[in-house]
Chains A and B, each alone.
Chain A
Amino acid sequence: MADPTVSVRDLTTWRDSKAVLDSISADVLPGDIIGVLGKNGAGKTTLLETLLGFSRPDRGSVAVFGEDALHLSAAAKARIGFLPQQDELFGMLNGRQQLAIVAAFHAHWDHALIERLTAEWTVPLTRRIDSLSVGERQKLGVLAALGHHPDLLVLDEPVASLDPIARRQFLQQLFAIGENERRAVLFSSHIVSDLERAANKVWIVKDGRLHWQGELDALKESVVRLHIRSRAPLPANLAAPNALATRIDGNTAMVTVTQWQPALADTLASQFDARIDVEGLGLEDIFLELHR
């Protein structure tokens, strides 16, 4: 197995006597495209920025390319691309000048890629940044994060302000990055359909904890909704193992379970003399069920 690009161990951060990040341990491997999902205030931005050493955790450690995130060498920093949630572009520059400043810090800057993406995404590089729309600024921020072909790309809400066309183009670029097995991408988004399309792994952050981490397909296989139809009224205290949510209406019930095993359907069928239909859920439904 390849060395992890990012290795997180027992990461804990407190703010005002509340754990913003709580005992998080995870690895980001080369080739991973990880979508980070969570409610507002769940700790996504804190997590992503702490991974890059912007914030010092109260407990635990983060290693990026094998180096302590709080003491990254120039070589390690050169392999990171980062797009913060709030853009930090210099308003009085134009886009070309902004990119020139970022390019100056990298030994290799793919001008051809930037030119191509600029044309495809229609980014007006000659206009002053403070006259650009929010979406145009966001595109510029993404370009600045991509130009040096980073091995670790961390994007905090990269598509929040993009139109559907730009979002699709951005996702295609992510696919292209994903084809390179050396690189890893970590991005947060509230647009679950995009995340579902682009990511091969998911981290679900809930109350500062990593509620789920793993392959997206595994998550979908793990969380299912069971439709139970019985001949007799179902008990009000119907309890299925690993149930996330249970809704009972007379002879029928809907139970969402995690860690799904087919044997459970047989058990429930015989227990309640019922027919069990298994419904696979999309990521958005799973997210909603996990937050009930």
Chain B
Amino acid sequence: MKAVLRIGWTFFTAMPLQRWLNGIGIVLCGMLAVLNLKVGEPTWSFVFLALFVPAGIVTLFASPAIFHGLSASRSNQLLPHFHIWMLAALAALMIAQLAMFALIFVAAESSRTPLLPALVHVFTFATVAFLLMFLALSGQRWAWWLWLMASAGFIASRVMPSMRIVLDAIPPWTWFGASLAAWTAFVLWYTRTRHIGQRRRYWQTANRSSPIDLDENVTRERALGLLLSSALLSTRWRKFWNIVVIVIVVVALLSQLTDPLAISIRGFWGTVTLYLPPVTSAFWVYCVTAGMQSATMTIVRNSRFLWLRIPGSREDVQRAIERAALRNFCTAALMLAGVAALYASPLAGASPRQVVTHFMIAACAGLCGAYAALSTFTVRQVDLIHFVSVLSLVMAQVVMFSLAQGSWRALAIVVVIQLGCVLLLRRLAIHRWRQIDWLYMRPPTQYAGLFQR
């Protein structure tokens, strides 16, 4: 029992971000509770939400990484009844999450949906989220794609009435049965497996099965490029992705030739491209910001390799990294231009203002993401500070995006604010880069620092 409690506690407190959010959640919850009692007409759902949103949701998404981190350790696997205690703690976590959701649900008096089906849906979502993330962390890269598709399907089901009707027609007990079956399979596998795949390092993201297109005659430029971008990926995935994009574009254009086909494709198109303004553009703002910050952060964390390779001072290394980040930005901008062109096509039929708004804000968001990565690193707590800063940036940009839908003037103001933010972040980056300490700023190793901050 002690072990279950200990592991359960770890699920909620392993990452520094969780500890912060837990603290914020408890304070918010307490303040709202006091306020509620004073007002006289308490709305307790907000009180529980204040705790659930910061603490519960983050824990739900962090738990696969924590569970995987503890399970992958060979020495942990030798502990008596380790697998059983881990599963018991996981079950306790799921029950706690469901209980918290039920409290919110019951407290929200206006809700007309019965509690049990709602709980089943939450349980299904938690099951899919946990299992897919766990598999992805264990080296099953397809699980990320499945997770992405499941998320896209979920969003689509929320905004597309036809899809929602189809999903709602499925009885809740089917979802519950499927989730239980998935958990049973997982428990059987988990209690028997002797090896759980290790999470790969950030900077070694190549697919295990991909061949590396690198021969012995590497030029200095190519070697530098590899170290800068850690683009050791084979071209196989890139080629595959290009083909997918081309196929989508061709199908989209061909579908314009015949009306019946266009109508049937349009529904499919809306789902696969998530062309559901303003959700789509907000989605792109998020993707480009997070994608650019992630790519740039990878280079920043690899910068230790570059110190003895690039002549000059820290500023010279920073300039090389900035150039690499801007090259990445050019690629992202090209992709965005492609998406904007598709929006402008008769298939989507977006107005010129919508297209320009989408492109400009997402492109500037990419720049913001890149410079946030260049500027927010510190010697320690890098992930926490970085995560919070980029999250704030994304949220601010999504809000600004909705404002920019108004007029050309509003768009211009938002873009100017974004570019101002870029300039500020760049200045901060240059200032901080002089202090970079590669004794600590290393490419992270397996779960480095996850449990030890």
A residues with a Cβ closer than 8 A to B are 45-46, 49-50, 52-56, 70-75, 77, 80, 82, 86, 88, 90-93, 96-97, 100-105, 130
Contact = CB atoms under 8 A, between A and B. Distances in A.
B216 A96 contact: yes
6 contacts: A73-B311, A74-B311, A74-B312, A82-B308, A101-B223, A105-B223
B193 interface: no
Contact of A104 (B220, B305, B434, B445): B220
Contacts of A73: 311-312
Contact of A88 (B222, B226, B305, B313): B305
| Chain B, interface SS category | loop
Interface stretch (B64-72, B96-104, B200-208): B200-208
| Chain A to chain B: the 5 pairs with minimum beta-carbon distance, closest first | A74-B311, A104-B223, A54-B438, A92-B206, A104-B218
A20 to B, nearest CB: 9
Contacts of A80: 308
B218 A101 contact: yes
Nearest to B208: A92
A56 B307 contact: no
Contacts of B232: 90, 92-93
A191 to B, nearest CB: 24
A90 B308 contact: no
B151 interface: no
Given A49-B438, A54-B438, A88 B443 contact: yes
B439 interface: yes
Interface string B210-245: 001011111110111011000010000000000000
B214 A93 contact: yes
A49 B312 contact: no
Contacts of A104: 218-220, 222-223
Contact of A100 (B208, B218, B443): B218
A88 B201 CA distance: 11
Contacts of B438: 49, 54-55
B215 to A, nearest CB: 7
Given A50-B439, A100-B223, 8 more contacts: A72-B311, A93-B232, A97-B218, A100-B214, A100-B216, A100-B217, A105-B223, A105-B224
Contacts of A90: 203-204, 232
Given A55-B437, A77-B309, A80-B308, A91 B204 contact: yes
A16 B278 CA distance: 48
B280 interface: no
A70 B313 contact: yes
Contact of B437 (A45, A56, A86, A97): A56
Given A46-B439, A97-B214, A101-B223, A92 B308 contact: no
Nearest to A89: B204
B61 to A, nearest CB: 27
Nearest to A101: B223
Nearest to B216: A100
A135 to B, nearest CB: 18
B307 A54 contact: yes
A101 B445 contact: no
Interface in B138-179: none
Contacts of A86: 442, 445
B351 interface: no
A71 B223 contact: no
Contacts of A102: 223
Interface in B370-423: none
B435 interface: yes
B314 interface: yes
Contacts of A97: 212, 214-216, 218
Contacts of A52: 307-308
B27 to A, nearest CB: 28
A81 to B, nearest CB: 9
Contacts of A91: 200-201, 204
Given A45-B439, A90-B232, A93-B232, A101 B226 contact: yes
A268 B376 CA distance: 64
A70 B437 CA distance: 11
A212 to B, nearest CB: 24
B435 A56 contact: yes
Contacts of B222: 104
Contacts of B203: 90
Contact of B439 (A55, A72, A82, A103): A55
Interface in B262-305: 304-305
A90 B206 CA distance: 10
B296 to A, nearest CB: 19
Contact of A54 (B216, B217, B304, B311): B304
Given A71-B312, A86-B445, A101-B227, A92 B307 contact: no
A226 to B, nearest CB: 41
B219 to A, nearest CB: 6
A84 B218 CA distance: 23
A70 B206 contact: no
B213 to A, nearest CB: 10
Contacts of B313: 70-71
A90 B216 CA distance: 15
Contacts of B309: 77, 105
Contacts of A75: 311
Contacts of B216: 96-97, 100
B254 to A, nearest CB: 39
Contact of B308 (A71, A77, A100): A77
A102 B305 CA distance: 10
Contacts of A54: 304, 307, 437-439
A254 to B, nearest CB: 40
A54 B440 CA distance: 9
A122 B182 CA distance: 47
